[in-house]
Structure formats: structure tokens, C-alpha cells
Amino acid sequence: MTLTVTVLGATGSIGRSTTDLLAQHAGRFRAGSLVGGKDVAALAKLAREMKAGFAALADAGAGPALREALSGSGIPNGAGESAVLEAVERDADIVVAAVSGAAGLKPTHAALRLGRTVALANKESLVCAGDAFMRDAARYKARLLPVDSEHNALAQALGDGRVSDVAKMTITASGGPFRTWTRERIAAASPTEAAAHPTWSMGMKINIDSASLMNKGLELIEAHHLFAIEPERLDVIVHPQSIVHGLVYWRDGAVTAGLAMPDMRVPIAHCLGLGDRLTIERGRNLDLAAAGSLTFEPADEARFPCLAIARAALAAGGAAPTVMNAANEIAVAAFIRGAIGFYAIAELVERACAHFAPRYRGAPADVDEALAIDAEVRAWSLEALPLARAA
């Protein structure tokens, strides 16, 4: 049986890794809907190559250009929110949710509501509205498979074991490009330097989050929801080689870990396989003798304050992670366009968390509430940005 796979965020880094696997296993998979943000040429080219069942762009204004770019292909297409929804609603055995940022919440949630099997890369869904997502996954009998490499490794290391038997779960961080830099040097870092990730090849936003360690903070929150495990049993360790991705410490002292070369196709293949193992062509097999040594060190929250901010948001619960994520997205975008310095990211996020803490206590009841908070915090953060310039 050929499985239909819909990809949200198909033209992005995770999306490309996914369609690469689909093409490698063409007999097993067919591309369902492919969804992008606004890049007409990239989506049209990919949709033609993959013979997609449907192509959609979130940008409502891109409709005519997409229609033109796909003319003669026979691939139905559309643009705007309703087209993205149609893309999700079309039949699919697996939906890979790989839109970047809070923009991924709605389409990912729509897939859950349809009871789909969702391979989840969009960690922001769980960060911004984790309670609602996990509740609705259960309610609509949707399967959530973790694509994020650390969580995928944890899921594999956990196997059929019980979370109640787990003493703690640890996710690893490469440490990013600034792992060995002094605070002064990091403070003056450029977007290009921050985006130069040592081990992973990823989209721009997550690259900056990796440099600030905010990505690890987001991942702690993601793990808390995915595995229903308290923050006290979750931690982070820096592992520059990015070979061990997640470790499960059992209460009897045994530890199981997930290892692989840093290639997102490995966790994506695990999700797409649905229990079967897929061969990855041109994959790099792990050679531990060649790797030589695997090293580990604690994360330095003095140089990487975003990790501490995220831990605090996780401990505070409620809407704190929603607020944090929104402010971080604004701050990261401002850093990328050169409007603020690197440490101004942490400074802005911290101020947003403090500002909104008294206002929003409970967790967002649903995606709409999470998006309303997200919009308010974004507006506030944009206004607060000039104050953060010097930081």
C-alpha cells in the first residue's frame, strides 16, 4: 500500500529532508499536499518534482503566481488560509508538520482534529499550546510522532517503558557556534556568526535559537508535553559532537540513549516508517571509532541566559511559554535583520515574560487563545524593541 504524506512547510529545511526521503522510497510513499509560506517558485518546482496531490501557499496574495507556475502540471493549488486548510483536509496517512514558528499552530492543530498521524517538527505548537495540543491529540485519536531529534531519540530510548519508571530524561545541545566564546565576544556577534551552526544544517530561526540555547529551552517544554514528564525530571547537557541526542535514566540506574549522526532524515525516517525501518540513501552511518571521543559538559546559563529564561517559563507554566515564544520570535527576527544585538534577544524575552506574567496565568485553553496571546505579545515586543537595541 502506498502511503500519502502531506508536508506542511515543504520548502523548508525539514520539508526538504522529508521530500528527499519520500523520493527515495517512491514505491512506498506518494506526496499528498505540499504547503509553503510564500516562495512560489520553490513550491511550484517541488510540487512538480514530487507530483504533489495539491500545493498551497499561506500567502493569500501568491495565488495567481502559483496558478501560473503550476499551469499545465495538473496539480490543483491555492493560496491563503483556506487553501492551507484544504491542503490539510485532503486525504493523508501522515502529516509532517514542519512550518517554522507559531504560524505552524493552526495547520498542525487542524491535522490533529482530523485524527491524522502527525510527525511533529513544529515544536512551537507544543510550546505555545501544549496542553491543548496533547488534549486534542487524545480527544481526536491523532498520533503525535516526534521529529525533533532529541525527542525522537527519547521516544526510541523509552521504547515500551513507562515514564513512571524514568528518573530523568536528558536532551543534548551541541552548544551552538558560541559554545567556547566569551560573553563579550558573543555580545558583538553578527547574525551570520550566529547562524553558522557547527553540526546541524537548519532553517535560520532555529539556527539563532540554537546559538542562544533558546532552542533547548523550547525543547524542554516540548519534552514536558510529549512525555507528560515534570520539569524537575528534565535536563540539558552540552554534547558538541551531536551524536547522542537523548538519554533516558531509569530508576534502577540503567540509561538508554538514542544515537545517530546529526542528520534530520534519521528521525524523520523513523516517523515515516511507522514501525518499519527505512534505509536512507546517501546517509552517513555512525562510526564511533572515527568519532573518537564523545564529550559532555554542563550548559552555561550565564553566557546563555535564554536557557534559564525558558526553564523559568516551563516552571511557571500557564501562558508563560506562549509569551516567551512570541517575544523570542520578534527578537530573533530583529537580530537577523541587524536591529538588535545578540543579548538583546534574552533581554527582550525576559522583559516580556515579566510584563505579561500578572496578566496571563492559566494555560491557553485552545489554539485561538494561544494565538491571541501570541499576537498581543508580538505587538508589545515590537514596541519594546528600540529599548532593547543597546543590550
293 is in an annotated binding site: no
Q: Does 130 bind ligand NDP (CB under 6 A)?
A: no
Residue of 47, 50, 132, 202 that binds ligand NDP (CB under 6 A) = 202
Q: Does 100 bind ligand NDP (CB under 6 A)?
A: yes
Q: Pull the grid cell for residue 385.
A: 524593541
Question: In which element (H, E) is residue 257 found?
Answer: strand 255-259
Q: In what order do the strands lie in the sheet with 143-146?
A: 77-79, 54-57, 29-36, 3-8, 94-97, 117-120, 143-146
Identify what 13 binds: Mg ion, ligand NDP, none; CB under 5 to 8 Å per kind: ligand NDP
Cα–Cα distance measured from residue 210 to residue 92, given in angstroms and rounded to the nearest whole number: 32
Task: Determine contact, residues 221/31, Cβ cutoff 8 Å.
Answer: no
How many residues sit close enough to Mg ion to count as binding (CB under 5 A)? 3
Cα–Cα distance measured from residue 83 to residue 49, given in angstroms and rounded to the nearest whole number: 20
Q: Does 11 bind ligand NDP (CB under 6 A)?
A: yes
239 is in an annotated binding site: no
Nearer to ligand NDP, 215 or 253 (CB): 215
Identify what 158 binds: ligand NDP, Mg ion, none; CB under 5 to 8 Å per kind: none
Q: Does 98 bind ligand NDP (CB under 6 A)?
A: yes
Backbone angles phi, psi at 166, to 5 degrees: -90, 130
Q: Does 250 bind ligand NDP (CB under 6 A)?
A: no
197 is in an annotated binding site: yes
Segment interacting with ligand NDP (CB under 6 A) among 21-29, 100-108, 156-164, 170-178: 100-108
Residue 138: count of CB within 10 angstroms of its CB: 11
Concatenated DSSP letters of 52-118: -SEEEES-GGGHHHHHHHTTTTT--EEESHHHHHHHHHS--SEEEE---SGGGHHHHHHHHHTT-EE
Q: Does 329 bind Mg ion (CB under 5 A)?
A: no
203-242: which residues touch Mg ion (CB under 5 A)? none
Nearer to ligand NDP, 237 or 384 (CB): 237
Cα–Cα distance measured from residue 307 to residue 219, given in angstroms and rounded to the nearest whole number: 10
Binding site for ligand NDP (CB under 6 A): 9-15, 35-39, 58, 84, 98-100, 103-104, 121-124, 148, 200, 202-203, 205-206, 264
Binding site for Mg ion (CB under 5 A): 148-150
